[in-house]
Structure 1
Amino acid sequence: MTAIPVDDIGAFVGPPSLLAAGADHGPLAGRTLAVKDLFDVAGTVTGAGNPDFAAGRSPAIAHAPAVELLLRAGASVVGKTVTDELAYSLSGTNVHHGSPRNVAAPGRVSGGSSAGSAAAVAAGLVDLALGTDTGGSIRVPASYCGTYGWRPTHGAVPIDGVVPLGATFDTVGLFARDPHLLAAAAAVLLGDGGGTAGPLASRGPARAASTDAPLEPGTPIADVATTAASEIGGAGAATAPRLRWIAEAVAELPPSLAADLVASVHGLGPDVDVVELGLDLEAAAGAFRALQGRQAWTAHGPWITEARPTFGPGIAARFAAASRVTDDEVAGAEVVRARVTEAVLAATADGTVLAMPAAAGPAPLLRTSGEEHDRQRAQTLRLTCLAGLAGAPVVVAPLLRAEGLPFGLAFVGAPGTDTALLAFVASLSTP
């Protein structure tokens, strides 16, 4: 019998209920799963955080592939979670559905746009939660709520059946309190493990990390998280990869917090150094905003123009700005994107893992003004845009505190090293 949580923090869209039961056997059997309200779950309307958007949609006739994969691996869906409207925010505030309560930082935002998913995991309402990350929508809530979060390599996890925002940045990822469970669930989404075979498992036998042995249902979660650590750094590499903190990113923090972050990173292993990417983070963030804006308007502009939906002020302002992005701005942004991608790939080419703050600070107060939210969002975007522009995987770990509040450390790997990156982060919590 699947335990249905009692939502006393406003994390879910409507009361939690068993929306889809997971398979009886599999690596995630018995686990509860919350799903961000951008994903199709058969029999439910995908509302994307906006009542006008929901009003124009019929109940989904099938699960999004990512949901289906987790169901086949044994996880059961117990509800859909609150998202910022059309995922176009990092704050976790929604004028229609409210702001999920952040139990790890009372009186402060949970972060967005995967606000309800992060809040539900942090509060222990579910074991796992699906989210999306375009410009930081998993990384920022994970940091604010003190959970683990994974943004995959772009294109590594199927995005079908998910309301889009920025097609070349959108990713499907996860939240969990346990990094070993996060790695096990990620293995399912990456095709490294799962439950009953079917059309979505047609790529051949699922494999655990880089070994030749198929990952069988029921494989211990800790085993999934530890079998691939040597992938980072190449075949035969030591479990602990070379770790380098990004100078430009750390410089975005207040001095005391920057010092704490650097000290924490140096405490994680013997081979820790600093790297300068040689990038202008403001230019990188501007390029990201232009490209995301053009793609967001392409995805939703026709509907917005016709339906004239009611948006919160921040969302409305971002879509208005998106509608004005020019072809010249897009062309210039692509040049910057190529430069960022080249820098990140060069810095991670030898298996190095990059460490950086997951956000520009701890969770802002709920009563923070709109202008201050915008300032903090812009500062955080200067950090999160790097992996977004490069399509690189990121795992956020709740390893730091700032002002007594959760503050996540983000680990960035080369594209395609998700399994090894997850294993490395899991190893940090293994005695």
Structure 2
Amino acid sequence: MTADPSVWRVKGMPLAPATGHGALDGVRLAVKDLFAVTGFAVGGGNPAWLAEALPAAEDAPALARLRTAGAIVQGIAHTDELAYSLSGHNTHYGAPPNPAAPGLVTGGSSSGPASAVATGHADVGLGTDTSGSVRVPASCCGLFGFRPTLGAVPTGGVLPLAPSFDTVGWITRDAATLAAVGDVLLPPGPRELPARLLCVGGTAEQAGRFGLPVTEITLSTWDDPDPLVLAFRRVQAAEAWRLHGAWIEAHPRALAADVESRFRFGSRVGAEEEAEARARIAAWRAELLELLGGDAWLVLPAGGPGHARDLGLAGRDEWRRSVLRCSVPASAYGLPSVSVPTGASPPAGIALVAPPGRDRALLALLAATMAMGGPGGR
């Protein structure tokens, strides 16, 4: 069968075999085109970037761990350009299919890996999540998506966007596989479950299926998300411009106009403005962690469903703003979060957000709940 060019940059049978045996024997990986894969260049979702890139001498550490545990690389899957979008529509390669909602996009920027998992051509989509780029496509495709605590999984060998927020994440069709990947990639940590769930955005009914006490709350950054999203955007864009601004200046119009404009916004963020944004994020983070108190987790919409595949730029921008409201809190605060399918049609998941370091507890709750037919019915 010919590989779908909107999903795969390059695909094999497999593209790269496992390098060891373990808990992931035979698990097929769709690797986002930001990760170093031995012998292949990183393309970053952009032909001009790919044309200048050299083949990687070794795997990114996260990928190396998965291959050592028995996983195989099915192929390298497309991403939104330099991972700076949430739409899942790449102007050079198109929008990959979303079988759960054929008229809608997959979401991004881990669009190719999400589509590969959703269509059954991979078991795990290995991606990155900076502002929601694993959790959003998982939500839009009816899949599970996990973002770890910032720094919990090594990001070496991965093309960065904004290091203060960049994480390695993964997408699966079932909670058991999501947890199995976590067992390989995550450091040891507590598995104690929370005493209660605090819900915003109409998530209480779905959250109740986790079998824990549920409380609906008000949260200032949910009721009025613009200040948090703007602060996050300033820091993200400033870091992204420092990393890639020189390349963008040297390659005018190599990126889609909307993607380039996000980078160029960063060129206008001054040092004082960036520092103020970081301070505001830190203050809001402290407020949320105080609210959680060590025994509660937050539940909110995961972002979705995806937008129409033929939606214009203005509509995509409006959709992006609505999604960032859902995804930015975990991203800005460096917290672990998992997107869980709810069975809605078209797909739109809910997200659990836990205190830092509670990654394994998140996955343990999810695996136990799914085994009993919890949210998503998987």
Give the match for residue 71 of structure 2. Answer: 75
Q: Does 1:416 align with 2:361?
A: no
1:8 Cα deviation from its structure 2 partner: 4.2
Among 247, 269, 272, the residue aligned to 1:328:
272
1:381 Cα deviation from its structure 2 partner: 1.0
Give the match for residue 371 of structure 2. Answer: 430
- What aligned pairs does 1:1-80 form with structure 2 within 5 A after superposition? 7-8=3-4, 10-80=6-76
Q: Distance in 2 between matches of 1:69 and 1:299?
A: 27
Code of the aligned partner of 1:32: R
Q: Distance in 1 between matches of 2:66 and 2:209?
A: 35
SS state of the match for residue 80, structure 1?
A: strand
Code of the aligned partner of 2:331: G
Give the match for residue 335 of structure 2. Answer: 392
1:128 Cα deviation from its structure 2 partner: 0.8
Q: Distance in 2 between matches of 1:328 and 1:24?
A: 49
Give the match for residue 362 of structure 1. Answer: 305
Among 119, 140, 149, the residue aligned to 2:115:
119
Map Cα deviations across residues 210-235 of structure 1 (whole Å, 9 max, x no partner): 5xxxxxxxxxxxxxxxxx3xx234xx
Code of the aligned partner of 1:119: S
Q: Give unpaired runs (5+ residues) of structure 2.
A: 373-378
- The answer to whether the Cα contact below 8 Å between 1:104 and 1:122 also exists between their aligned partners in 2 is yes
- The answer to whether the Cα contact below 8 Å between 1:6 and 1:125 also exists between their aligned partners in 2 is no
Map Cα deviations across residues 393-429 of structure 1 (whole Å, 9 max, x no partner): 001110141xx21111100000100000011111221
Q: Distance in 2 between matches of 1:394 and 1:415?
A: 10
Map Cα deviations across residues 256-281 of structure 1 (whole Å, 9 max, x no partner): xx3xx332223432411023333341
Map Cα deviations across residues 93-139 of structure 1 (whole Å, 9 max, x no partner): 00111111111110211101000011111111111110000001001
1:325 Cα deviation from its structure 2 partner: 1.4
Give the match for residue 266 of structure 1. Answer: 208
Map Cα deviations across residues 279-304 of structure 1 (whole Å, 9 max, x no partner): 34110000000000000001101111
Code of the aligned partner of 2:328: C
Code of the aligned partner of 2:25: A
Code of the aligned partner of 2:342: L
- What aligned pairs does 1:94-173 form with structure 2 within 5 A after superposition? 94-173=90-169
- The answer to whether the Cα contact below 8 Å between 1:109 and 1:365 also exists between their aligned partners in 2 is yes
Q: Distance in 2 between matches of 1:347 and 1:89?
A: 31
Give the match for residue 375 of structure 2. Answer: none
- The answer to whether the Cα contact below 8 Å between 1:33 and 1:77 also exists between their aligned partners in 2 is yes
- The answer to whether the Cα contact below 8 Å between 1:340 and 1:386 also exists between their aligned partners in 2 is no
Code of the aligned partner of 2:316: H
- The answer to whether the Cα contact below 8 Å between 1:121 and 1:176 also exists between their aligned partners in 2 is yes
Q: Distance in 1 between matches of 2:353 and 2:256?
A: 32
Code of the aligned partner of 2:308: L
Give the match for residue 282 of structure 1. Answer: 226
Q: Give unpaired runs (5+ residues) of structure 1.
A: 193-208, 211-227, 234-240, 251-257
TM-score by length of 2: 0.94
TM-score by length of 1: 0.83
Cα pair distance change 1:394/1:288, threshold 3 Å:
same
Code of the aligned partner of 1:421: L
Give the match for residue 88 of structure 1. Answer: 84
Give the match for residue 197 of structure 1. Answer: none
Give the match for residue 232 of structure 1. Answer: 193
- The answer to whether the Cα contact below 8 Å between 1:351 and 1:414 also exists between their aligned partners in 2 is no
- The answer to whether the Cα contact below 8 Å between 2:204 and 2:214 also exists between their aligned partners in 1 is no
Map Cα deviations across residues 36-84 of structure 1 (whole Å, 9 max, x no partner): 0000000001000011111111100100001000000100001001100
Aligned length: 370
